Amino acid sequence: MALAGTGVFAEILDGEVYKYYADGEWHASSSGKSVAIINPTTRKTQYKVQACTQEEVNKVMEAAKVAQKAWARTPLWKRAELLHKAAAIMKEHKAPIAECLVKEIAKPAKDAVSEVVRSGDLVSYTAEEGVRILGEGKLLVSDSFPGNERNKYCLSSKIPLGVVLAIPPFNYPVNLAVSKIGPALIAGNALVLKPPTQGAVAALHMVHCFHLAGFPKGLISCVTGKGSEIGDFLTMHPGVNCISFTGGDTGIAISKKAGMVPLQMELGGKDACIVLEDADLDLVAANIVKGGFSYSGQRCTAVKVVLIMESIADAVVQKVNAKLAKLKVGPPEDDSDITPVVTESSANFIEGLVMDAKEKGATFCQEYRREGNLIWPLLLDHVRPDMRIAWEEPFGPVLPVIRINSVEEGIHHCNASNFGLQGCVFTRDINKAILISDAMETGTVQINSAPARGPDHFPFQGLKDSGIGSQGITNSINMMTKVKSTVINLPSPSYTMG
């Protein structure tokens, strides 16, 4: 039974097209045009969203600016209270939101529910963390700097940036939206969301939960449309005071076009898994399968290349293959492990990487199989650096194994990548693990576990082409504020004697 667009969500639907959200209300766009969202499994149109116009974006920005000023005067505890309310509503309505994730991005049914619950928890945690860290400021006294007496007291605190533009990617359209919305709002900013086209309807349902919680008009808005059509207008809009983006190379282009505003960019990755001879091989195999193939490899933090010592490679490949044979391949509704990848062009891209590896002599541990957007899990052994898959991210259920003869070789491959998101190392020797972690040029290194962004309050950042700034709840709140100081100048120095 379809739940999306029904019950409390009925008002977000206009005929068969989902509305966009502006000035505290749901609207049909004056463009009269819509964008189709193709179900990756059926490859037919599942939903439609409004193709918003530039004029509508302008109005949203104006309303956001006005609403932000009033919001910044709203006590912190009240902002937190509203966020807690939105989180509870989101969790209460997890079923329709999860249904959209299943239909729009083929997320396995259970994972879709987990994404919504995790998102509710993220919003609540953000409310609590915001109350703590934004409730504190700093007092500096002048006599610590040479030549000064204690006649100046500097009071500094964190203040909002203004209007934050949030652009999340298709693979976590709810979670990676709230990871921007929560921190922006608790810090006193207004928020404009441009959801990914695949995932837009899940995001609109999530935004309605914030609407039902009673946030002021204009403070949150959600404009839909193809990124290729309205993206530049949004990111270059003079009303935007901060851009928080998660996605692919588009982020690099945005960073070149954006004005002088803070940027938070979480981009692609080619997370390496370095396996040493003394590793627990069962643990390694379990993490390669979980890390490489969860959500069919469509995670920025997926294991995207295995760099394994030659002497243990056969044993690990055998264990991984045994586990891959047990994965359930099929539609997301059946809670399959491997589901269709998000678009046909994505499936074609993955196939291109596989065919290139085939031509250049990689060993196929399974037969390559594809039906529509559904690609069966594939481990490619004996991959060499001249193959594209050694460097490019497939964002699909295809994982290359490169056999190495020294740890240095593994580190060298990891660091030669233009990406630097996460990486992992498997060894029982913690001293070696720390040295390797320090040598890997990535934002995070996991020791004895696959890469992961969560838990959501951990710092999450990419080096090189993987991003700018750091996410995670605390870092995002800090990033979405600036520092304001007030200096009290005393007529004469004053010292407390104790």
The residue ranges that bind ligand NDP (CB under 6 A) are 167, 169-171, 196-197, 226-228, 231-232, 235, 246-248, 250, 254, 266-269, 300, 393, 395, 421, 462, 467
User: Between residues 301 and 336, which has the closer beta carbon with respect to ligand 3PG?
Assistant: 301
User: Between residues 94 and 299, which has the closer beta carbon with respect to ligand 3PG?
Assistant: 299
Indicate whether 32 belongs to the interface with ligand 3PG (CB under 6 A): no
Which partner from the list ligand NDP, ligand 3PG, none does 143 bind, CB cut-off 5 to 8 Å by kind?
A: none
Q: Quick one: CA torsion of 114, 117, 123, 127, rounded to 10 degrees?
A: -130
x/- map, 281-320, ligand 3PG, by CB under 6 A: ------------------xxx-------------------
> How many Å apart are CA 486 and CA 157, to the nearest integer?
9
* C-alpha distance from residue 445 to each of 430, 449, 459 (Å): 13, 9, 12
Q: Which two tokens stand for residue 15?
A: 């005929």
> How many Å apart are CA 2 and CA 8, to the nearest integer?
14
Q: Which two tokens stand for residue 342?
A: 């998000």
Q: Which two tokens stand for residue 299?
A: 């995670």
Q: Which two tokens stand for residue 126?
A: 């953000």
Indicate whether 205 belongs to the interface with ligand 3PG (CB under 6 A): no
Locate the DSSP E strands across 215-330: 220-222, 242-246, 263-266, 271-275, 303-309
Measured from the CB of residue 34, what is the shortest distance to ligand 3PG in angstroms? Answer: 27
Indicate whether 171 belongs to the interface with ligand 3PG (CB under 6 A): yes
Q: Residue 312: left (phi > 0), alpha (psi -120 to 50), or beta? A: alpha
How many residues line the site for ligand 3PG (CB under 6 A)? 8
Which partner from the list ligand NDP, ligand 3PG, none does 454 bind, CB cut-off 5 to 8 Å by kind?
A: ligand 3PG
Work out which of 26, 172, 210, 419 binds ligand 3PG, going by CB under 6 A: 172
According to DSSP, residue 338 is labeled B
Q: Tokens 């951990």 — which residue?
A: 458
User: Between residues 316 and 424, which has the closer beta carbon with respect to ligand 3PG?
Assistant: 424
Q: Which two tokens stand for residue 283?
A: 């643990």
**For the chain, what is the radius of gyration of the CA atoms?**
24
- Catalytic-labelled residue, pool 266, 351, 392, 441: 266
> How many Å apart are CA 246 and CA 262, to the nearest integer?
14
x/- map, 445-464, ligand 3PG, by CB under 6 A: -------xxx----------
User: Between residues 338 and 407, which has the closer beta carbon with respect to ligand NDP?
Assistant: 338
Residue 266 is a catalytic residue? yes
Measured from the CB of residue 300, what is the shortest distance to ligand NDP in angstroms? Answer: 3
3-state DSSP assignment of residue 136: coil
Positions marked active-site: 266
Contact residues: ligand 3PG, CB under 6 A: 171-172, 299-301, 452-454
